[in-house]
């Protein structure tokens, strides 16, 4: 699989709103959106990620607590890559509701050698790499979770900065943490659910806000990695926490409909 890298945006700054839809809601809103939006240049594709975290999952535990500032490190590919295909090493930060994402492009082999063995890519020396390097060393991160999904992406006909994505078939696993392995894992959404994300640098267009209101589609706090952690990794986290922290973690997390949420 060859990853297209022409005209790839490396720095993002925007707001992101997430919505959990039923397939019926998806069909209705998609029909309306098709009159104001069009498929982006890649339209439909699969995304594979390796999330990096501390051994006691402190990055995602902090994120779930909804702090003013949080960050995450991940390695991303579009489709299942070969060793020499291009992938994206990203650091994603969120501060006061604004999401910033900075990423570099390198081969899968270069990325794994850097992340897992500390071998720097010969051809790459930039500010973004230095930021990732600082965070990697600060947190002493290791591969923590594999998450893949199928994505459909739309962009606005009038405002190309307006982007809406629909993710489904979200599969996660804690073993075989390699992007070039097959896509498999446990699902974290119900069969009838699709995750919609609205991504835009500024305010939401009035027509879109009205549409969501009319369809009674409301934003939700949802994280793929966070949901997987709370569903499947929380018990492992206990092995690394002192007993006092275990009690706090257990009290602050409750289960609702098969998905764990921070209370």
Question: CATH code at 49?
Answer: 3.20.100.30
Strand, coil or helix: what is 13?
Answer: strand
Strands of 28-183, DSSP E = 37-53, 69-78, 86-95, 98-107, 142-156, 163-173
When divided into structural domains, the chain yields a total of 1
- Say if 17 falls within a structural domain: yes
Residues contacting 122, CB < 8 A, separation 6+: none
- Say if 2 falls within a structural domain: no
Cα separation, 107 vs 111, in Å, equals 6
Cβ atoms of residues 60 and 229 within 8 Å: yes
Cα separation, 6 vs 188, in Å, equals 33
Burial (CB count within 10 angstroms: exposed 0-12, middle 13-18, buried 19+), residue 71: middle
pLDDT tens for the 263 residues of the chain, in order: 444 444 466 677 789 999 999 999 999 999 999 999 999 888 899 999 999 999 999 999 999 998 989 999 999 999 999 999 999 999 999 888 888 899 999 999 999 999 999 999 887 768 899 999 999 999 999 999 999 999 999 999 999 899 999 999 999 999 999 999 999 999 999 999 999 999 998 889 999 999 999 999 999 999 999 999 999 998 776 555 555 444 444 434 433 333 433 42
Give Cα separations from 236 to 61, 65, 229, 233 (angstroms).
12, 18, 9, 5
Residues constituting the chain: 263
Strand, coil or helix: what is 35?
Answer: coil
Cβ atoms of residues 20 and 222 within 8 Å: yes
- Say if 126 falls within a structural domain: yes
Q: What is the pLDDT of residue 243?
A: 53
- Say if 3 falls within a structural domain: no
Q: Which of 97, 228, 221, 81 is nearest to 89 (CA)?
A: 81
Q: Which of 99, 119, 102, 100 is nearest to 111 (CA)?
A: 119
pTM strictly above 0.95: no
Please tell me what DSSP assigns to residue 124: -
- Say if 1 falls within a structural domain: no
- Say if 132 falls within a structural domain: yes
What is the extent of the structural domain holding 57?
11-262
- What stretches of the chain show up as alpha helix (H) in DSSP? 23-33, 58-64, 108-117, 127-139, 206-214, 224-228, 234-237, 243-251
Give Cα separations from 209 to 35, 117, 203, 212, 219 (angstroms).
16, 47, 10, 5, 11
- Say if 6 falls within a structural domain: no
Cα separation, 143 vs 146, in Å, equals 8
- Say if 4 falls within a structural domain: no
Cβ atoms of residues 214 and 250 within 8 Å: no
Q: Which of 126, 214, 113, 199 is nearest to 164 (CA)?
A: 199
Strands 186-187 and 163-173: antiparallel
């Amino acid at each position: 699989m060859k990853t297209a890298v022409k005209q790839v945006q490396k720095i993002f700054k925007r707001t992101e709103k997430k919505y959990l839809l039923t397939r019926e809601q998806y069909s209705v809103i998609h029909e309306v959106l098709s009159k104001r939006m069009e498929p982006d240049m890649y339209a439909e594709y699969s995304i594979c990620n390796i999330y990096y975290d501390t051994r006691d999952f402190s990055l995602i535990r902090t994120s779930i607590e909804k702090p003013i500032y949080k960050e995450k490190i991940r390695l991303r590919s579009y489709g299942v890559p070969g060793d020499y295909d291009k992938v994206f090493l990203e650091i994603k930060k969120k501060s006061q509701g604004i999401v910033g994402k900075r990423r570099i492009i390198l081969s899968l082999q270069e990325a794994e050698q850097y992340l897992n063995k500390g071998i720097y890519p010969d051809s790459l020396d930039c500010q973004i790499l230095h930021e990732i390097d600082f965070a990697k060393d600060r947190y002493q991160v290791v591969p923590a979770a594999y998450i893949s999904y199928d994505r459909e992406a739309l962009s606005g006909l009038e405002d190309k900065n307006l982007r809406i994505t629909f993710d489904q078939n979200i599969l996660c696993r804690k073993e075989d943490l390699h992007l070039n392995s097959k896509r498999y894992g446990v699902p974290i959404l119900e069969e009838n659910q699709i995750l919609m994300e609205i991504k835009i640098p500024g305010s939401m267009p009035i027509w879109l806000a009205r549409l969501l209101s009319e369809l009674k589609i409301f934003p939700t706090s949802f994280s793929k990695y966070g949901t997987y952690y709370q569903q499947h990794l929380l018990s492992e986290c206990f092995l690394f926490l002192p007993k006092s922290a275990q009690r706090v973690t257990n009290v602050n997390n409750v289960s609702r409909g098969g998905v764990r949420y921070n209370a």
